[in-house]
Structure 1
Amino acid sequence: MKFIKNLKKLSGCSAGILTNQSAFGWNKNYHFISFGEDIKIDTLFLPEHGLFAELQDQVSGSELGYMFGDCNIVNLYGDNEESLVPPRDVLQRLDIIVIDIRDVGSRYYTFLTTAYYILEGVSKLKKETGKAPLFIVVDSPNPIGDKVEGSPLAAEFESFVGVRSVPHRHGLSPAGLLNYYNETFDLKVEIAGIPIGVYHPKSYQTLLWVPPSPNIPTQNTCYVYPGQCLLEGTNLSEGRGTTKPFETFGAPYLKGKAKDELDKRLKAHQTTTVILRPLRFLPTFHKFKDQICEGYQLLIENPKKFHSLYFTLFFLKNLKELFPDEFQYLKGVYEFRSDKPAIELLAGDTKLLQYLDGGIPDSELVSYLENEEKNWFLATKRFRY
C-alpha cells in the first residue's frame, strides 16, 4: 500500500468521504471540514448513526436532512438493505474516495462494513469501465490493539454485522482490514493510506476520544464489545439506556436460586482479568425501558488477558441452562435480515452456536478459539501497519 502525506497533492480532485464525528482532531476541527481546504468534497457518505452519532442502532438516517454547503449527502444506512450500497453513478463521478472514520476493533461494528461495500462498488466500477476513484484510508489506531478474539465468520452468516472470514475481534487498523478485504476478495482496487499521526495524533484514543456511536462512550467499551455485542441477539439488556452500555447488562428475570448459582459460576470465570459488580439498573430506553433490571457491571482488571467473547459465550451458555423458561434468543428482523436469528449472524460460526446449546465443553471451545485466533494473527501479519 502506498502512502500519501499531503492531500494538497490531490487538489482539484472531486472527492467523496465516508466519515462522522469520530474523525476529529486535525486543526482541532472535524476532518471533513479541514479536508475541504485541500480537496473538493463532492459527496459526504453517512454511516449508521449519522454524522454526529445522534441516532441509536438500527435507526434509519433518511430523515436527518443534513446540509453541508453544495456537497451531496448520500445516506448509507436508510430504510432498506439496498441503501447500504453506494449508488454506482455517485462513485462514477468521483476522482477519490476518502475513508476517515474510527473503528472499535470488532467485526460487528458497521463502519468498516460500509467502507467495504464502497470498496466493492469501486471494484465493480473498475472492472466494468476500466476507471475508478482512488481509494484513500486515513488510518487510525485500533483502540484495543492487535489482540485477536474469536473465529472466522462463515459465509452463510455474512451480513452487515459481519464480513466473511473475519473473526469477532480482528486486531487490525482500518487500513489493515480494508487492505485485507481488497487482497483476499481479489477486488483489485488501488488503495492509498494516510499514516497514523498525519491528520490526528497517535494518542487520539485516550486524549481525543470522540464517541463514534451513541453506545461506545469510552475506549473501555471497546474491550467488552467483541463479546457483549452478542447480547443484542437475546432478551437481555446490553445496557442501552444506561451510561455504561455493554459494560452494564442484565434483565428483570435474573433472580432467585438460579441467579445465585449463576453468580457462583461467573465468579470462578476469568478470575484474574475481570470483576463483576452486581447491580440494579433502569434503562431509559431500548430493552426493558423503565423496568428494574438485575445485572452486572463488567470491570476489566487486565485488558491484555481478558477474553470478552469467551466471557459472553460462557455467560449465555450458563444463563440458558439456569433460566430455560425466561431466557430467549430474539427473532425477527435484525440489521435488515430476517432469514436467520440475530444470534446466528453475530456468532457467525456453527461451532460457537453448538457451544451455546451445550454441545461441546468449555475446554474444546477454548482450544478451538486459540487455534483460530493464532491462524488469523499469522495470516494477517502483512496487514498490520
Structure 2
Amino acid sequence: MKFLKNIQKLSGCQAGILTNQSAFGYLGKYHFQTYSEIFNLKTIFLPEHGLFAELQDQVSGDELSYLFGDMQIVNLYGKEESSLVPPKESLKNLDVVIIDIKDVGSRYYTFLTTAYYILEELSKLKKETGKSPVFLVIDSPNPIGTKVEGSPLQETYQSFVGVKSVLHRHGLTPGGLLTYYNETFHLNVDVVVVPVGVFHPTKVTSFEWVPPSPNIPTQNTCYVYPGMCLLEGTNLSEGRGTTKPFETFGAPYLMGKEKLELDKRMLSHQKGKFLLRNLRFLPTFHKYAGIICEGYQLMVLKPKQFHSLYFTLYFLKQVNGLFPDQFEFLKGVYEFRSDRPAIELLTGDSYLLEYLYGKHSDSDLERYLEENETIWNKAIKPFRY
C-alpha cells in the first residue's frame, strides 16, 4: 500500500510514540512492537491509565515501569498537572512523533488531549528552533461514528477533560480532531495522517474490541459516555466498580415516591430511543463501594437517534429537583483542577449549567443544542476522514 511504502521511507528515523493497548492487531501485534521494526523507536509516551490500561481514572502512572531495552518511558499522567505536558528534552531529538491510540468520540476522553498537548509543544519547538518532528497520526475509526452532540467548550472551562471549541461528542477520528487542532489553533506543525484501513480496520466490531481504558469495556459504553461522563461531577455513581460502567448508574438515596416520579419523567424523554431497566447494584470500588445503590441500566435502542448528552442533562435536572437534600454536585480536586467543580469542567458551557439549575426549558435546550451541532458540523467538514 502507498502509505506503508511511504512509512518505510522513514525507516531508521528516531521516533517517539503515544500509544496504549488499544493500538493492537496489525500483524497480530501491539503496534509499538511493529513500529520498532521500522523506526528507531526511542520513547513511549504514556497516557492516563498506562500502556495496558492497568490503572483506574485519576491514578498517577509514575510508579509504572516497563522493560523495553533502552527505550525511554515518559509518563504523561503523573501526580502534578505539569506532568501532562511532555518535557521539551523528550521531543527535541526526535524525527517523528507517532500518535496511535484509539479515541471513544467524546471530548472528555483524555488521550487526544494528551496528543494535543504534545502538538502544542511541537509548535513551540518549531517557533524556537525552526523545526520540529513530524506528527504522524495513525488514524482509527470513531467507534460511535460521525454523529455529533453538544455545544463548544467555552475557553474559561478548558482543562484536561476538554479542549476549547470542541463539542461533547465531536464526530471525528483521531486524525480529524488533531488536524482540526493544528489548523484551527494555527500550530503549524507538520501533521501527517495515515488513513483508517492501513493499520486499523475501517470498522470496529464487538469481537475485536480492545478496551482503551478500564471503564470503557465495550463499544456500547461509547454511545452513552458523551452524556453519562457528567455523572463524574455528581454524587451519583457512574457505575465504576460494576461490569457496565456508564451504562449502570444510581445512588443509595434514589428511593421512595420521588424515585417513582423520576421513573415516570424518564419514560417521557426521547421515547423509543432507549430503555431504562430499574436495578440495584453494589459497586466494588469507587463511589459507594460496598453499598447497595438504587438505579438503572441504560439500554440504547436507536444509537443513531439517541442523544446521550441531552438524556444526562435532563436526568440530572430531574434528580436535582426531586432529591434536593441528597443530590450534590461534587467539589474538590478533579483532574488536577480545584478552582472549578468537576461539573463545570465537564459541561463546559454556562448555558448548559444554567439549564441544570432550572433556568432554561427543555425546548430551549433542544434548540440550543441543535443550533450548535449544526455550526460544528459545518466547521469540521474539512476534517472528516
Could you state the TM-score of these two structures normalised by the residue count of structure 2?
Answer: 0.98
Q: Per-residue displacement from partner, 1:312-365 (whole Å, max 9, x unpaired)?
A: 000000000000000000000000000000000000000000000000000000
Secondary structure of the corresponding residue to residue 102 of structure 1: coil
Aligned mates of 2:71, 2:364 — CA distance in 1: 53
Are 1:141 and 1:173, in contact at CA under 8 Å, matched by a contact in 2?
yes
Residues 109-148 of structure 1 mapped to structure 2, 5 A cutoff: 109-148=109-148
Q: Aligned equivalents of 1:306 and 1:253: distance in 2?
A: 27
Encode CA deviations 1:152-186: one digit per residue, 9 max, x unaligned.
00000000000000000000000000000001100
Give 2:13's aligned residue. Answer: 13
Q: Which moved more, 1:292-301 or 1:63-72?
A: 63-72
- Cα distance, 1:206 vs structure 2: 3.3
Specify the code of the residue in structure 2 equivalent to 1:309.
Answer: L
User: Is 1:172 the counterpart of 2:169 in the alignment?
Assistant: no
- Shift of the 95–175 alpha-carbon distance from structure 1 to 2, 3 Å rule, reads same
2:91 alignment partner, SS class:
helix
Contact kept, 8 Å, 2:3 with 2:198, in 1: the verdict is: no
Question: Which amino acid in 2 is paired with 1:144?
Answer: I
Unaligned runs of 5+ in 2: none
Q: CA deviation at 1:207?
A: 3.8
Deviations for 1:276-329, whole angstroms, at most 9, x for unmatched residues?
000000000000000000000000000000000000000000000000000000
d(CA) in 2 for partners of 1:203 and 1:329? Answer: 38
> Any idea what SS the aligned residue of 2:363 has?
helix
The answer to whether structure 1 residue 38 and structure 2 residue 38 are counterparts is: yes
Cα shift at 1:6: 4.3
Contact 1:3/1:193, CA 8 A, preserved across alignment: no
Give the deviation of 1:193 after TM superposition.
1.1
Are the counterparts in 2 of residues 278 and 295 from structure 1 also a CA contact under 8 Å? yes
Runs of 5+ consecutive residues of structure 1 not aligned to the other structure? none
Q: TM-score, normalised by structure 1?
A: 0.98
| Paired letter, 1:310 | Y
Structure 2 counterpart of 1:60 = 60
Asked if 1:243 is matched to 2:243, the reply is yes
SS at structure 1 position matched to 2:200: coil
Distance 2:84 2:103 in 1: 18
SS of 1:186 mapped into structure 2 = coil
Q: CA deviation at 1:5?
A: 5.3
Q: Is the 1:3–1:192 Cα contact (8 Å) retained in structure 2?
A: no
Instruction: Say which is worse superposed, 191-200 or 17-26, in terms of deviation.
Output: 191-200
Residue type matched to 2:187 in 1?
Answer: L
Instruction: Check whether the contact 2:275–2:300 (CA below 8 A) recurs between aligned residues.
Output: yes
Tell me the CA shift for residue 204 of structure 1: 3.6
- Output the CA distance in 1 between the equivalents of 2:282 and 2:68: 38
Task: Find the counterpart in structure 2 of residue 278 from structure 1.
Answer: 278
Q: Deviations over 1:219-259 (max 9, x none)?
A: 00000000000000000000000000000000000000110
Residue 367 of structure 1: SS of its match in structure 2? helix
SS at structure 1 position matched to 2:236:
coil
Give 1:343's aligned residue. Answer: 343
The 2-side partners of 1:122 and 1:4 are apart by 24
**How many residues are treated as equivalent by the alignment?**
384
In structure 2, what is the Cα distance between the partners aligned to 1:321 and 1:76? 40
Q: Supply the distance in 2 between the matched residues of 1:137 and 1:118 (Cα, whole angstroms).
A: 12
SS at match of 2:9: helix
Residue type matched to 2:95 in 1? D
Superposition map of 1:78-89 within 5 A: 78-89=78-89
Quickly say closer, same or farther: Cα 1:204–1:36, change in 2 above 3 A.
farther
Contact 1:77 1:83 (8 Å CA) reproduced = yes
1:359 aligns with 2:332: no
| 1:12 shift after superposition | 1.3
C-alpha separation in 1, matches of 2:53 and 2:183: 31
SS at match of 1:243: coil
Distance, in Å, in 1 between the alignment partners of 2:348 and 2:3 is 34
- Stretch moving more, 195-204 or 336-345: 195-204
TM alignment of 1:196-211, pairs within 5 A: 196-211=196-211
For 1:347 and 1:114, the matched residues in 2 are separated by 19
- Work out the CA distance in 1 between the residues paired with 2:36 and 2:24: 14
Post-superposition Cα deviations, 1:46-78, rounded to whole Å, max 9, x if no partner, equal: 000000001000000000122212100000000
Amino acid at match of 1:298: L
1:4 and 1:193 in contact (8 A); partners too: no
Secondary structure (helix, strand or coil) at the match of 1:10 reads coil
Counterpart of 2:59 in 1: which secondary structure? coil
Residue 9 of structure 1 and its aligned partner are, at CA, apart by 1.1
Which residue does 2:108 correspond to in 1? 108
Tell me which stretches of 4 or more aligned residues in structure 1 moved more than 4 Å. 2-6
Q: Do 1:22 and 1:210's aligned partners in 2 also have CA atoms closer than 8 Å?
A: yes
**Alpha-carbon contact 2:136-2:193 (below 8 Å) kept:** yes
* Aligned alpha-carbon RMSD (Å): 1.0
Partner of 1:298, secondary structure, is strand
Percent of pairs identical after alignment? 69
- Cα distance in 2 between the residues matched to 1:65 and 1:98: 21
2:152 equivalent in structure 1: 152
Inter-partner Cα distance in structure 1 for 2:201 and 2:108: 26
2:179 and 2:298 map into 1 onto residues whose CA distance is 33
Q: Distance in 2 between matches of 1:212 and 1:46?
A: 13
Q: CA deviation at 1:271?
A: 1.4
Letter in 2 for 1:289: A
Q: Distance in 1 between matches of 2:203 and 2:114?
A: 25
For 1:296, give the aligned amino acid.
Y
Please tell me the residue identity of whatever aligns with 2:381. Answer: K
Asked if structure 2 preserves the Cα contact closer than 8 Å seen for 1:17 and 1:32, the reply is yes
Q: How does 1:217-366 map onto structure 2 within 5 Å?
A: 217-366=217-366
